[in-house]
């Protein structure tokens, strides 16, 4: 098993590789993909997809490396890994949006016009529909999560209500037993009183 220092050093190396890949992917998403079209754009998209696959592999290696680090240092690294995974998921979403979005016109198209305007309009319309579909799917997922949360809350509330009813039932039984005991005591007192009165008359 690796020592804490050795494990942390290897984890740091993975972090450096991850940062480099992340920056490269961001450049492709923010600058290169929107400004290109045709085969060049497709090639950049494929390169970004390969880099995202590499980030997934590195995240997997980081997760395995954390298991070799003693508990005192493991918690901090696990928190960092969660952040890196979250950032990786965001990059995937950003790449999907950049892929679905229509490319910006270059200077030549702006000066001379696009000879394939009809095809470009059709592609833009298709991509716009795909973007709306992705947005709708994301909203549907959010609604589903909210519904699950509401259902869980309802179950928790039902459980609390059942516990309260059980407590009230137990208290009612206690009160009924106490009342029966008092009635029985009153009966004994009446009997004793009659006996005492009979003895006094005699």
140 within a domain of the structure (yes/no):
no
Do 73 and 155 lie in one domain? The reply is: no
Closest C-alpha among 10, 21, 139 to residue 63? 10
**Angle of helix 71-100 relative to helix 38-66, nearest 10 degrees?**
170
Do 7 and 97 lie in one domain? The reply is: yes
User: What CATH number is given to the structural domain containing 96?
Assistant: 1.20.58.400
Spatial separation of the C-alpha atoms in residues 74 and 77, rounded to whole Å: 5
110 within a domain of the structure (yes/no):
no
Specify the pTM.
Answer: 0.47
Spatial separation of the C-alpha atoms in residues 97 and 131, rounded to whole Å: 7
Contact partners, residue 2, CB within 8 Å, separation at least 6: 10, 65, 68, 69
Domain boundary among 67, 102, 137: 102
Q: Could you list the residue range(s) of the whole structural domain that residue 9 is in?
A: 1-102
Q: How confident is the prediction along the chain (202 residues), in pLDDT tens digits per residue? A: 344 444 578 889 999 999 999 999 999 999 999 988 899 999 999 999 999 999 999 999 999 999 888 877 788 899 999 999 999 999 999 999 999 887 665 544 544 455 455 555 666 777 788 888 888 888 888 877 888 887 787 787 787 878 788 888 888 888 888 888 888 888 888 888 888 888 888 6
Cα within 13 Å of Cα(179), Cβ side:
6
109 within a domain of the structure (yes/no):
no
Domain count, the chain: 2
Are 99 and 45 in contact by the 8 Å Cβ rule? The answer is: yes
Do 92 and 10 lie in one domain? The reply is: yes
Do 96 and 156 lie in one domain? The reply is: no
125 within a domain of the structure (yes/no):
no
Domain boundary among 86, 102, 118: 102
Could you give the residue ranges of the DSSP H alpha helices within 28-116? 33-35, 38-66, 71-100, 107-112
36 within a domain of the structure (yes/no):
yes
């Amino acid at each position: 098993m690796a020592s804490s220092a050795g494990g942390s050093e290897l984890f740091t190396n993975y972090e450096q590789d991850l940062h480099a890949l992340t920056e490269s992917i961001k450049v492709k998403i923010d600058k290169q993909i929107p400004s290109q079209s045709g085969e060049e754009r497709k090639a950049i998209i494929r390169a970004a997809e390969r880099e995202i696959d590499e980030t997934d592999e590195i995240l997997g290696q980081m997760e395995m490396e954390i298991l070799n680090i003693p508990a005192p240092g493991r918690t901090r690294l696990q928190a960092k890994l969660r952040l890196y995974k979250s950032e990786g998921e965001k990059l995937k979403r950003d790449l999907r949006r950049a892929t679905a979005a229509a490319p910006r016109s270059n200077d030549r198209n702006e000066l001379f016009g696009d000879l394939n305007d009809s095809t470009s309009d059709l592609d833009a319309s298709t991509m716009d529909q795909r973007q709306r579909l992705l947005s709708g799917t994301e909203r549907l997922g959010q609604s589903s999560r909210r519904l699950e949360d509401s259902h869980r809350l309802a179950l928790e509330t039902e459980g609390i209500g059942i516990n309260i009813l059980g407590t009230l039932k137990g208290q009612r039984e206690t009160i009924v037993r106490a009342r029966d005991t008092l009635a029985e005591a009153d009966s004994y007192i009446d009997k004793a009183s009659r006996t005492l009165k009979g003895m006094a008359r005699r």
